[in-house]
Structure 1
Amino acid sequence: MQLAGIKLIGTGRYLPQRTVSNEDFTRFLDTSDEWITTRTGIRQRQISNGEPTWYMGLKAAERAIEDAGIDPQEIDMLISTSVTPDYAFPAQSNLLLERLGIRGAFGIDIQCACTGFVFGVDMARRYLATQEDVNTVLIVSAENITKFADYADRSTCVLFGDAAGAAVVQRGENPAYSFFETQGEGAELMYAHLVPPGNPFSDPEQVERYAELFPKGEGHYMYMNGSEVYKYATRALPDAVERVCAKAGIAPEEIDLIVPHQANLRILQTAAKNLGLPMEKFSINIDRYGNTSSACIPVTLSELRESGRLREGDRVLLAGFGAGLITGAVLFEVER
């Protein structure tokens, strides 16, 4: 059964005011602007100066609602995506609904790493297509990913920035297509620990035994096997594009715009080459923001919409990949 598509009616973004350049890292790391830029494509990133994740999400959501030109009370569902929420509970979607003053809607949090927004769009599409009382969905992707960065590790800390992006979607007239895949065998390639199990009745040796399943990483800092994740991403991104295009019955060259997860410029260049597509088809802002996890794609969408680059009838493909290992893509047509 082919479900109805989506109509993007509003977008918004929030970037912390603090800008950190590559040169700033040279004060405490053995690195250089050239070393970072040539390996990643990143020149600067915005980093939280204390703004919590929910606050960044709130500001992006407010701007998306304003851009959509709707009353917040018209929102029926709020989907929050983040790997860096401020609280274990309540859910971040609950906090956002309360701060936005929305009554009568329901919220849900999803944690799908850097692919979170793509999952959120597809989840919104399915609710809109199957639930008569869901007509408008707000998707908010907010990330304070730098709090998991080890600033003694030059190979990872230079990659990340903080940001939030949001989108308001409604039921569309044209079909949309999606593809998702999880390769759980790669879970150990990138992870970060939370509070470990422990209580007055725990056996410390038993707790330690389970901890050995994912032994790397200092404290709560993220661990990433960069070379293996890179290899995965260069395969997964073009595969996701081809698979979702196959579902739509089109060739990749018929896509007007690809909005990818901004992990590394070389990954995007390799994917474009493997697909036989020009880089002009890819919307890229990694040089300014770095990797902001699930916020990458909605921040980029917000910039595209603001600049008028999302034209009616354009085929737009959102493509994410990240820890899990997870890949996801959604293909839709811009409607007015």
Structure 2
Amino acid sequence: MTTVSLTDVSGYLPGEPVPAEFYTAYPGAEDKLRDSPMFRVPPLRHHVAPGETNVDLIERATRPLIERHGAAEIRSVDVLLVHSQLPDIPFVGAGTEVARRLGLKPRWLIDVANAGCASFVHMLQLARQLLTGTDARTALICNAQTTAGQLFTQSEVRGLAQAAIPGDGCGVGYLTTSAAAPVLDVVARHLGDHAGEMTAVLDDGRRYWEPGASQLRIGFTESGVAEVLARGNRLVPEVVTELCEGLGVGTEEIDLLVTNQPNRTFLTNWREALGLPPERHADTFDLCGNLFGAGIPVTLDQAVRAGRVRDGDLVVLGGFAHAGDYAGAAAIRWNAGGTAAA
């Protein structure tokens, strides 16, 4: 069977760090969720600039890959997968514009709409299938997150507990059919029972494309948050444990765990459930907040740059999406190959 490797990863964070006071000092409406562990405020996050798009972030996140591997190699990728949150325009995905901007001519180009905060794992699985099941040999998987500086800074949303948690950023993975840093396995669950439980709300009852004055926000409720906390605490350890059992290793043998990072409560509970000390569970929550789908590749990139990942390490990526409609985990035997750690 063809071996597929996560050969390299890179990330990009827009602008200067935005302090918590940008939100906590802003007058807000009464919000019963303000003391929830789901919404404990990180010190910093990044915001896209006005007019900065998903494609802009992906282009900037890809530059280190071009510098390390050469423009010709990156431009020749066979597969391009893109997850954008928030989409910049209706109808048209970001993928074709990414291809144009980077000079790519992929044979497989897919804008991925599902798997949310764990979409990097989902795209890793999709790319792996394409690289083993077709004659494609290289892939770029891209996560762009631009919601924080746009949706959550609206005047009627900024004062809500939910607003201070997200941050913007982008992460890109480069996959090849090589043994450089092999993807050992991927476990994924699409959980239709929880589909539709994450909702967008407009207080005047209109649909988001209809004219009106109310501002779009996420429809969190006390009961809904409690359910998501309980579900998320269970889902990520379950898929990571299933992954490790399939590989014949214990979860305590994971050298580095990288997950999505909705809040500090999840991060603590996940590593404790898996028997890992804090130093083996990387996160960028205090610096970046909840980066949604970009959280896994951005955090992995920063861990690699900081020298936290050694050749031969078992690296596990894991997370869940939305209110729990997807959960996935992937295992990689890391090997920088003289490029990813450069």
Question: What range is the shorter-chain TM-score in?
Answer: 0.7 to 0.9
List gaps (5 residues or longer) in structure 2: 338-342
Q: Which structure shows the higher helix fraction?
A: 1
Deviation, structure 1 residue 36: 9.4
Of stretches 302-311 and 184-193 in structure 1, the one that deviates more from structure 2 is 184-193
What is the CA deviation profile of residues 251-301 of structure 1, one whole-angstrom value per residue up to 9, with x for unaligned ones?
101111101101111111111222222122100110000011111111112
Q: Note closer, same or farther for the CA distance 1:104–1:143 as it changes in structure 2 (3 Å cut).
A: closer
For residues 211-230 of structure 1, what are the structure 2 equivalents within 5 Å?
Answer: 219-224=215-220, 225-230=224-229
Task: Tell whether the 8 Å contact from 1:53 to 1:86 is kept in structure 2 after alignment.
Answer: yes
Normalising to structure 2: TM-score of the pair? 0.83
What is aligned with 2:139?
137
Q: Note closer, same or farther for the CA distance 1:246–1:47 as it changes in structure 2 (3 Å cut).
A: same
Task: Tell whether the 8 Å contact from 1:161 to 1:290 is kept in structure 2 after alignment.
Answer: yes
Q: Note closer, same or farther for the CA distance 1:253–1:8 as it changes in structure 2 (3 Å cut).
A: same
Counterpart check, 1:176 vs 2:179:
no
Identity %: 27
For residues 16-95 of structure 1, what are the structure 2 equivalents within 5 Å?
Answer: 16-29=14-27, 40=40, 42-50=42-50, 51-69=52-70, 71=72, 72-95=74-97
Deviation, structure 1 residue 78: 0.8
Amino acid at match of 2:271: A
Q: Paired residues, what number?
A: 313
Deviation, structure 1 residue 58: 1.6
SS, match of residue 140 in structure 2:
strand
List gaps (5 residues or longer) in structure 1: 200-217
Of stretches 180-189 and 107-116 in structure 1, the one that deviates more from structure 2 is 180-189
Task: Tell whether the 8 Å contact from 1:148 to 1:222 is kept in structure 2 after alignment.
Answer: no
Task: Tell whether the 8 Å contact from 2:76 to 2:105 is kept in structure 1 after alignment.
Answer: no
Of stretches 71-80 and 145-154 in structure 1, the one that deviates more from structure 2 is 145-154
Q: Note closer, same or farther for the CA distance 1:74–1:316 as it changes in structure 2 (3 Å cut).
A: same
Partners in 2 of 1:162 and 1:116 — Cα distance?
Answer: 15
The counterpart of 1:7, out of the listed 1, 5, 8, is 5
Deviation, structure 1 residue 70: 5.0
Amino acid at match of 1:278: P
Normalising to structure 1: TM-score of the pair? 0.84
Partners in 1 of 2:189 and 2:262 — Cα distance?
Answer: 18
Counterpart check, 1:256 vs 2:262:
no
Of stretches 221-230 and 258-267 in structure 1, the one that deviates more from structure 2 is 221-230
Task: Tell whether the 8 Å contact from 1:83 to 1:143 is kept in structure 2 after alignment.
Answer: yes
SS, match of residue 305 in structure 1:
helix
Deviation, structure 1 residue 242: 0.3
Q: Note closer, same or farther for the CA distance 1:127–1:258 as it changes in structure 2 (3 Å cut).
A: same
Partners in 2 of 1:175 and 1:63 — Cα distance?
Answer: 22
What is the CA deviation profile of residues 1-46 of structure 1, one whole-angstrom value per residue up to 9, with x for unaligned ones?
xx54432333222211142211222331469xx9799963611100
Deviation, structure 1 residue 197: 9.3
